[in-house]
A and B are shown apart, each in its own frame.
Chain A
Amino acid sequence: MRRSLLPLTLLLVALVAGGCGRDGPSSDAAAPAEQGAAFPVTIDTPAGEVELARQPERIVSLSPTATEMLFAIGAGGQVVAVDSNSNHPKEAPTTDLSAYQPNLEAIAGYKPDLVVYSDDPGELAAGLGKLAIPALQQPAATRLDDTYAQLDQLGRATGHAAEAARLTATMRAEIQKIAADRPERPLTYYHELDKNLYTATSRTFIGQLYGQLGLRNIADAADRQGSGYPQLSAEYVIRADPDLIFLADTRCCGQSAGTVAARDGWGQLTAVRSGGVVELDDDVASRWGPRVVEFLKTIAAKVETLEAVGS
């Protein structure tokens, strides 16, 4: 398994190096020296300071979002293994490592010099500490700023601080641009997490993304405890009659515009009749990495077509 990954890794290094070449002469030849100079670095994490003596060359990512971030900032070549759910980008060296039930021995088998993870279900951090493997925890973002901060952190930890800074600047600019074109009439929406009508309120990360477009969440009234993820009554969804229905359960649970229209009592909803049911990619809708921009563009385009039909 690991042997077969080696050529792929080499290929990736070549690709990444080639990709960097476009940015100008500085990145290719000068970058290693520059990056070498940046180490050792000390990184503040919720679990305490993490000290990295050298630039990590064998990164294991147990977080699909972190995997996307690592590749987006040009650190993909340093990644030797990612967890079973890290399915993007395609080049990511997906393994059967589980992020939910992390197996320390299996992780240690990749001889990592940096482990990035999102949730610690138990003894992951303590175990990695015993093995003296540096580990970064990057929990689920609650705001867009968390995404930027995590990208910056990964940039510094992997010796790609400049690329990370460029990426976050681009993201900020693009999101600002999308938000500037927000529709005048605020549309209402319902974001479906599964077919039992679990949803996300406007306070959640994904809800704030919709907020960038000026969309109004119908679930806020249902979240008195402030969990951010209440389960709605079907009656209430029908009464609220949202303009847009976003399905984040297309892959997990096979939902589609067709299945929504076929539900009892849903057929006459505005969103169903006017084509406002949007089938999302579950993964993109549940991660907080660089693809949030792509996500926002999709939604913005949908809102624009709805607006055009409506006016």
Chain B
Amino acid sequence: MTVTERRPGPDLAAASGPRPARLRAGPMLAAGAGLTGAALGAVLVGPVRLDPWAVLVELAGRLPLVDTASGLTEQEAAILWQLRLPRVVLGGLVGALLALAGAAYQGVFRNPLADPYLLGAAAGAGLGATLAIAYGPDTGSWPVDLLPMAAFAGAVAGVVAAYGLGRSGGARTTTSLILSGVAVAAFLTAIQTYVQQQQAETLREVYGWILGRLTTAGWREVALVVPYALVSTVVILLHGRLIDVLAVGDDEASSLGVRATRVRLVVVAAATLATAAAVAVSGLIGFVGIIVPHTVRLLAGSGHRLLAPLSLVAGAAFLILADLAARTLMAPAEVPIGVVTAFIGAPFFALVLRRGGQAP
């Protein structure tokens, strides 16, 4: 990612937030350093103790022109390369996507409590996953499991339904969109609960999925997420300034030549893609999409040209650390990662509520 000083346009975001909104090198470098530190710590520490120096040598050995012997056994190398590393990478990707999607949703809906699951993405993914677990065929031999595909499709379908319902209501306000999201979520959750009750032996697996999981993450999941991550990230980052313009209200935005509805549709679509990809491989990990963008907002202001990339990096670092806690606190047992993020996230959420939603 290149960090550039852009030409300051009509700085509308400055009207809504106290700080300048441009992409600045300082905060990005700090966030990048934080992410690097988190990733390094997460690779070095795990339920199985690997010699940190040997791990570093082993990692360096994969660089071109470096030929070293790390002294890791075959088993230890497998733990590092096939279990720990993909988990760190996937945790970073999922955290980045959720935080970015959260920042985008909060921006386009001008609602501090919006999160990536706002428009029925969680309920849709939950239903898709439940259907796959309850009725899906044995997909052990397939190149890709049915579960992530079903969750992805469910998340997208949920948001499409909410969006369609919200628009057909006549008034195209953000409120009608959010309310239709509530309706769609309630409806999909009802079906999911019904299926769960009918197929009660699937309860534990569905429950485990809802709490979020990176336990069985592998390179396969990483490969699944990367394309969506790229597309949605590029789209949202390019729309940072337009999201800022939306903050002044749809009517004023259109008087400035910004088609608010269209911007919202594009950003919501990209954020949904990001959310669906994250949810497909990791289940419903809550609160990342809320606490990360809000923390960034408190520290660096609310202009989206800075907020979006910072949330992306901070989200990655946050989830990598949360997952590190999830796999080491009770090692060798796991704590569901959703429990970790909610344990940190819920008090924070309360704090945001108390501050009365002063952010956009």
Task: Indicate if the CB atoms of A235 and B197 lie closer than 8 Å.
Answer: no
Residues on B with C-beta less than 8 A from A241 are: 75
Residues on B with C-beta less than 8 A from A225 are: 330
Report A175-212 residues with CB < 8 Å from chain B CB: 193-198
Q: What is the CB-to-nearest-CB distance from A283 to chain B, in angstroms, rounded to a whole number? A: 10
Task: Indicate if the CB atoms of A234 and B333 lie closer than 8 Å.
Answer: no
Residues on A with C-beta less than 8 A from B201 are: 85, 252
Q: Report the separation of the CA atoms of residues A38 and B330 in the bound assembly, to the nearest whole angstrom.
A: 53
Q: Closest A-chain residue to B219, C-beta based?
A: A264
Report B309-360 residues with CB < 8 Å from chain A CB: 327, 330-334, 336
Report A83-133 residues with CB < 8 Å from chain B CB: 85, 98-101
Task: Indicate if the CB atoms of A224 and B330 lie closer than 8 Å.
Answer: yes
Task: Indicate if the CB atoms of B79 and A235 lie closer than 8 Å.
Answer: yes
A233-B140 contact, Cβ under 8 Å, with A98-B200, A100-B200, A268-B78: no
Task: Indicate if the CB atoms of B215 and A268 lie closer than 8 Å.
Answer: no
Task: Indicate if the CB atoms of A235 and B200 lie closer than 8 Å.
Answer: no
Task: Indicate if the CB atoms of B334 and A232 lie closer than 8 Å.
Answer: yes
Task: Indicate if the CB atoms of A233 and B208 lie closer than 8 Å.
Answer: no
A2-10, A138-146, A151-159, A253-261: which lies at the B interface?
A253-261
Q: Mark B194-231, 1 if CB is under 8 A from A, else 0.
A: 00010011111100100001011011100000000000
Residue A224 contacts which of B197, B215, B220, B333 (CB distance < 8 angstroms)?
B333
Task: Indicate if the CB atoms of A268 and B75 lie closer than 8 Å.
Answer: yes
Q: What is the CB-to-nearest-CB distance from A95 to chain B, in angstroms, rounded to a whole number? A: 14
A236-B204 contact, Cβ under 8 Å, with A264-B83, A265-B83, A268-B74: no
A231-B79 contact, Cβ under 8 Å, with A195-B216, A197-B215: no
Q: Closest B-chain residue to A260, C-beta based?
A: B140
Report B107-164 residues with CB < 8 Å from chain A CB: 137-141
Task: Indicate if the CB atoms of A234 and B216 lie closer than 8 Å.
Answer: yes
Residue A254 contacts which of B138, B334, B336 (CB distance < 8 angstroms)?
B138
Residue B333 contacts which of A196, A230, A259 (CB distance < 8 angstroms)?
A230
Task: Indicate if the CB atoms of B47 and A236 lie closer than 8 Å.
Answer: yes
Residues on A with C-beta less than 8 A from B173 are: none
Q: Mark A246-273, 1 if CB is under 8 A from B, else 0.
A: 0000001111101100111100100000
**B46 interface residue (CB < 8 Å to A):** yes
A264-B75 contact, Cβ under 8 Å, with A232-B334, A233-B327: no
Residue A233 contacts which of B82, B86, B215 (CB distance < 8 angstroms)?
B215
Task: Indicate if the CB atoms of B205 and A233 lie closer than 8 Å.
Answer: no
Q: Report the separation of the CA atoms of residues A222 and B332 in the bound assembly, to the nearest whole angstrom.
A: 5
Q: Report the separation of the CA atoms of residues A52 and B156 in the bound assembly, to the nearest whole angstrom.
A: 57
**B48 interface residue (CB < 8 Å to A):** yes
Residues on B with C-beta less than 8 A from A22 are: none
Q: What is the CB-to-nearest-CB distance from B51 to chain A, in angstroms, rounded to a whole number? A: 13
Task: Indicate if the CB atoms of B205 and A194 lie closer than 8 Å.
Answer: yes
Q: Report the separation of the CA atoms of residues A196 and B200 in the bound assembly, to the nearest whole angstrom.
A: 18
B-side interface size class: 35 or more
Q: Closest A-chain residue to B49, C-beta based?
A: A239
**B84 interface residue (CB < 8 Å to A):** yes
Task: Indicate if the CB atoms of A236 and B75 lie closer than 8 Å.
Answer: no
Task: Indicate if the CB atoms of A233 and B197 lie closer than 8 Å.
Answer: no
Q: Report the separation of the CA atoms of residues A256 and B208 in the bound assembly, to the nearest whole angstrom.
A: 21
Dominant SS at the A interface?
Answer: loop
**A221 interface residue (CB < 8 Å to B):** yes
Residue A194 contacts which of B75, B208, B327 (CB distance < 8 angstroms)?
B208
Q: Report the separation of the CA atoms of residues A208 and B202 in the bound assembly, to the nearest whole angstrom.
A: 25
Residues on A with C-beta less than 8 A from B138 are: 254
**A223 interface residue (CB < 8 Å to B):** yes
**A162 interface residue (CB < 8 Å to B):** no
Residues on B with C-beta less than 8 A from A101 are: 197, 200
Q: Mark B57-91, 1 if CB is under 8 A from A, else 0.
A: 00000000000000000110011001110100000
Residue B204 contacts which of A98, A198, A264, A265 (CB distance < 8 angstroms)?
A198
Residues on B with C-beta less than 8 A from A268 are: 74-75, 78
Residues on B with C-beta less than 8 A from A259 are: 140-141
Q: Report the separation of the CA atoms of residues A225 and B86 in the bound assembly, to the nearest whole angstrom.
A: 29
Task: Indicate if the CB atoms of B216 and A100 lie closer than 8 Å.
Answer: no
Q: Mark B173-209, 1 if CB is under 8 A from A, else 0.
A: 0000000000000000000000001001111110010
Q: Report the separation of the CA atoms of residues A196 and B202 in the bound assembly, to the nearest whole angstrom.
A: 13
Q: What is the CB-to-nearest-CB distance from A293 to chain B, in angstroms, rounded to a whole number? A: 24
Q: What is the CB-to-nearest-CB distance from A150 to chain B, in angstroms, rounded to a whole number? A: 22
Q: What is the CB-to-nearest-CB distance from A42 to chain B, in angstroms, rounded to a whole number? A: 33
**A173 interface residue (CB < 8 Å to B):** no
Task: Indicate if the CB atoms of B334 and A252 lie closer than 8 Å.
Answer: no
Q: What is the CB-to-nearest-CB distance from A265 to chain B, in angstroms, rounded to a whole number? A: 4
Residue A235 contacts which of B46, B204, B336 (CB distance < 8 angstroms)?
B46
Q: Closest B-chain residue to A283, C-beta based?
A: B201
Q: Report the separation of the CA atoms of residues A222 and B74 in the bound assembly, to the nearest whole angstrom.
A: 24
A196-B332 contact, Cβ under 8 Å, with A101-B197, A235-B48, A254-B140: no
A265-B82 contact, Cβ under 8 Å, with A233-B46, A233-B331: yes
Task: Indicate if the CB atoms of A233 and B333 lie closer than 8 Å.
Answer: yes
Q: Report the separation of the CA atoms of residues A258 and B138 in the bound assembly, to the nearest whole angstrom.
A: 12
Q: Report the separation of the CA atoms of residues A197 and B213 in the bound assembly, to the nearest whole angstrom.
A: 11
Pairs A–B under 8 Å by Cβ, sample size 23: A98-B200, A100-B200, A193-B204, A195-B216, A197-B334, A198-B208, A222-B330, A222-B331, A224-B333, A231-B336, A232-B333, A233-B48, A233-B327, A234-B216, A238-B75, A241-B75, A252-B202, A252-B205, A253-B205, A254-B137, A256-B140, A264-B86, A265-B79
Interface positions of A (Cβ within 8 A of B): 85, 98-101, 193-198, 221-225, 230-236, 238-239, 241, 252-256, 258-259, 262-265, 268
Known A-B contacts: A233-B331, A233-B333. Give 20 more (CB < 8 A): A100-B197, A193-B204, A194-B205, A196-B205, A198-B204, A198-B208, A222-B331, A222-B332, A222-B333, A231-B333, A231-B334, A236-B332, A238-B79, A253-B205, A255-B140, A259-B141, A262-B140, A263-B218, A264-B220, A265-B83
Closest 4 CB pairs of A and B: A254-B138, A236-B332, A265-B82, A222-B333
